[in-house]
Structures are given as C-alpha cells and as structure tokens.
C-alpha cells in the first residue's frame, strides 16, 4: 500500500491485523520484506497488528534522490502512524530503524507506547562512521566493486562467528547479500545517516518506555554501545541475544522473537487483544 505525506512523499507500507499495533523499522538499505519471514508471523501469532514500511530511499517508497535527513525519516514514520490511526504505537527498530525510533521518541512521544531498539547505539564509533561515509562515496562515484567481494565484506561485518563457521549457512548468506546489490542515491543518503553523531546527552530526555536489545557479536552496535544507550535513556532496560552479529534478528530469530514479544507486552500503555 502507498500513502502520500503532506510534503508529497510517497511511503510504501503493509498493515496486517486489527489488534494493538506494532511498527517495524528496518536498517540501512533494507526493504520492509526482511521482517516477513520471521518477525511478522511471530508477532501476528502473538496477537499484534503488524505494520511494516519501506523507509524513504527504498523503493517503492520515494527514492530520496535529493537527499534527506534523520528528521525527514522521523516525520515519515510519524505521518504513517497518524495516517493509520495507530497511536499510541509500539515500535521496533533495528540499526538505522532504531536511530529513527530514538529520535521519534524525542520528537513525538505522544505517538508511542513501547519502543524496542535492536542493534542500537547512541553514537557511532570512528571506524563505523568512516566505513559508512566511504560506502556512500562509492555509490556517489558509481564505483562497482566485485559483487562477491561486497557480499563477503558484508558477511564479515554483520554476521556472528557461528554463522561464518558454517560454510553451508555462509553460502546462503553470500548468495543473498550478492543479490542485494549496492543501492542508489537513497541508500547513499541512508548510509550517511547511519553514522550517528553523539546523541547520548539528548537521549537522557526520552520519556517513552524503551528496551535496548544488543547482539553478542555485533561489530556495528557493540554490546558496550547498547549498554551506554540504555543507561542514558531513563528507565530503559538492556538485553543481549547471544551468538549472533548485527543481523541477529535474522540469524537467531527464535530468540529475538521471544524477547520481542515479552518486551512488547511489558510496561505497555495499550491493551493487547487476545487471539482466539
């Protein structure tokens, strides 16, 4: 489905169910379909209305060829929640999706119920900022590296050691990552946003109930960064999912889904409808 914001931005979304809403926000360069295999079925079975969206920059949402800011992405999410009448909404983000959710909690807390921040941090490390900016520069220059090299580099950067030690699993991941391509100007804009400035002081003003979920072997948002974020947000909790990297919600979906359902049911201001 498509909606158009007041600013003329078209956003693609999927809305399934009629119970208490949960909105899932993806990471850099990822389409909303990444949630479909594991998280959407589990959350639907747990009695939630599940909303997914393609962030600006990811087709069929508008491509963002002129660039955009984190405030633009926050406004997009707020517009979708209001369009669907889904407030107060539970929100789950991963990576850049968590960054959007963190900023939304500051800007529009009245739209939110409970927020789960996976693979999240309050500031990016120097190496992560340098890598994101360099990848954005490759896209801007139109430089095409061998797809096999890109897939292997992404696998090393985003997967846990157990996955990388299993050649059969790794082969599947390499095929998937190779097919995903390098992205266009929208992905470039997302990459530049994924290099977070230091937002830790600002996040001390968040009043929405938040839960931070880190992945044990995450190189992008390490455990220490997740703990720092949770310590900054008043009342936030911190959990660790073992054995996986930055793509933990896809590497260990059973453990992630159990934690998501538990957290989304906790401290909620909105009642959850029971399924028959």
Tell me which residues are annotated as active site. Answer: 95, 218, 246
In terms of C-beta density within 10 A (0-12 exposed, 13-18 middle, 19 or more buried), how is residue 246 classed? buried
3-class DSSP assignment, residue 130: helix
Q: What single string gives the DSSP state of each residue in 178-243?
A: HHT----HHHHHHHHHHS----HHHHTT--S-EEEEEETT-SSS-HHHHHHHHHHSTT-EEEEETT
Q: How far apart, in whole angstroms, are the C-alpha atoms of residue 69 and residue 75?
A: 10
Determine the length of the chain. 276
Phi, psi for 142 (deg, rounded to 5): 75, 25
229 near 254, Cβ under 8 Å?
A: no
52: preceding bond cis by omega (within 30 degrees) = no
Reference 165, options 128, 37, 173; nearest CA is 173
Interhelix angle 147-158/167-179, rounded to 10 degrees, is 120
Q: How far apart, in whole angstroms, are the C-alpha atoms of residue 190 and residue 132?
A: 9
Reference 51, options 29, 28, 78, 24; nearest CA is 24
Phi, psi for 12 (deg, rounded to 5): -95, 135
60: preceding bond cis by omega (within 30 degrees) = yes
């Amino acid at each position: 489905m498509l909606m158009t914001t007041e600013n003329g931005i078209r956003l693609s979304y999927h809305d399934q169910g009629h119970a208490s809403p949960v909105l899932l926000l993806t990471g850099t360069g990822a389409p909303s379909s990444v949630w479909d295999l594991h998280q959407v079925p589990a959350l639907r079975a747990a009695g939630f209305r599940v909303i997914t969206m393609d962030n600006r920059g990811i087709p069929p949402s508008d491509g963002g060829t002129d660039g955009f800011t984190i405030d633009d992405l926050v406004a997009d999410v707020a517009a979708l929640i209001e369009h669907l009448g889904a407030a107060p909404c539970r929100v789950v983000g991963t990576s850049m999706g968590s960054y959007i959710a963190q900023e939304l909690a500051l800007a529009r807390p009245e739209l939110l119920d409970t927020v789960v921040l996976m693979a999240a941090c309050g500031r990016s490390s120097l190496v992560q900022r340098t890598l994101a900016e360099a990848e954005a520069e490759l896209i801007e220059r139109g430089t095409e590296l061998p797809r096999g090299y890109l897939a292997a580099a992404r696998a090393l950067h985003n997967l846990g050691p157990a996955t990388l030690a299993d050649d059969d699993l790794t082969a599947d991941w390499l095929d998937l990552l190779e097919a995903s391509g390098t992205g266009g100007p929208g992905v470039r804009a997302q990459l530049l946003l994924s290099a977070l400035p230091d937002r830790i002081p600002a996040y001390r003003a968040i009043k929405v109930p938040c839960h931070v979920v880190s992945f044990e072997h995450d190189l992008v948002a390490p455990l220490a960064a997740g703990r720092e974020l949770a310590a900054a947000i008043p009342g936030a909790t911190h959990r660790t999912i073992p054995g996986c990297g930055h793509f933990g919600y896809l590497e260990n979906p059973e453990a992630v889904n159990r934690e998501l359902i538990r957290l989304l049911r906790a401290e909620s201001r909105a009642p959850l409808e029971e399924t028959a």
